Chain A
């Protein structure tokens, strides 16, 4: 009979994110965040975004009164964006830039490139840097122009 092997004092453990029922047996990383955001924002733009685009186009086609209703939902009487206008406006532009960046990252990964851990992680982080910077630039430009 072989004796029980000595258990090393500290065994390596798989990394956990969170505790309790939410516990994940792997370390959460930027690549996963980019991936789930790509799906959420794509689906969000396909539903909320597409309906808003259609409403906007249909309102212009329907005439002055219908367009006034559209504007009224997102702007104050003085003509500035109201809180909902800000949320929808910034939300949609950020969604476009973020899904755009992660989409291009997808196309690069499709070629078989950028799977090395470092560059993979860096490109994921860069998607967020790009989308936040472009959204800020877009709205700064609108603000400066106004």
Chain B
């Protein structure tokens, strides 16, 4: 059972908003996990030349965490930059900035995911 207060807490007049805050926290946790993985993996790579990096990225054990990292971090910064925009931009400029933020995030996320899959599925350039 939920009390009336518990039901409306954090909702405000727009009847939503708490999920933004909560997803920022959830992705903070998954960012932490995937970034520790990435930094440890990069530090222990035997080299940073083309063949070494490509071989590393073509393993499913690397491609899958890398996809998860992109999903987590890009969603996290999409939420985060929205807060930054809301703090500094008003009216029309806020609207334009929000549209640009969504286009930017979709473009970089799409490119990153395509690149990871292309390497993993092994099609040559």
Is B37 located at the chain interface by the 8 A CB criterion? no
Q: Are A46 and B77 in contact (CB under 8 A)?
A: yes
Query: Which of A43, A58, A67, A68 interacts with B84 by CB under 8 Å?
Result: A43
Q: Which of A58, A96, A103, A104 contacts B111 (CB 8 A)?
A: A58
**B14 CB to nearest A CB, Å:** 21
Contacts of B97 in A (CB 8 A): none
8 Å CB contact of B35 from A57, A68, A71, A100: A100
Does A122 reach chain B (CB closer than 8 Å)? Answer: no
Interface size class of A (residues with CB under 8 A): 20 to 34
Residues in chain A near residue B11, CB distance under 8 A? none
Q: Does A26 contact B (CB under 8 A)?
A: no
**Complex Cα gap A45–B31 (Å):** 13
A65 vs chain B, min Cβ distance (A): 8
Residue numbers in A under 8 Å from B112 (CB-CB): 53-54, 57-58
Given A60-B53, A60-B57, A61-B125, are A51 and B28 neighbors across the interface (CB < 8 Å)? Answer: no
Whether B119 and A61, one on each chain, are in contact in the complex, defined by CB atoms closer than 8 angstroms, is yes
* A57-B112, A57-B115 known; A46-B125 Cβ under 8 A: no
Q: Evaluate contact between A66 and B32: CB separation under 8 angstroms.
A: no
Which of A51, A54, A58 counts the most chain B CB atoms within 10 A? A54
Which 4 interchain pairs have the tightest Cβ spacing?
A63-B125, A46-B77, A61-B115, A57-B115
Interface residues of A (CB under 8 A from B): 39, 42-43, 45-46, 50-51, 53-54, 57-58, 60-64, 66-68, 71, 93, 96, 100, 103-104, 106-107, 110, 138, 141-142, 145
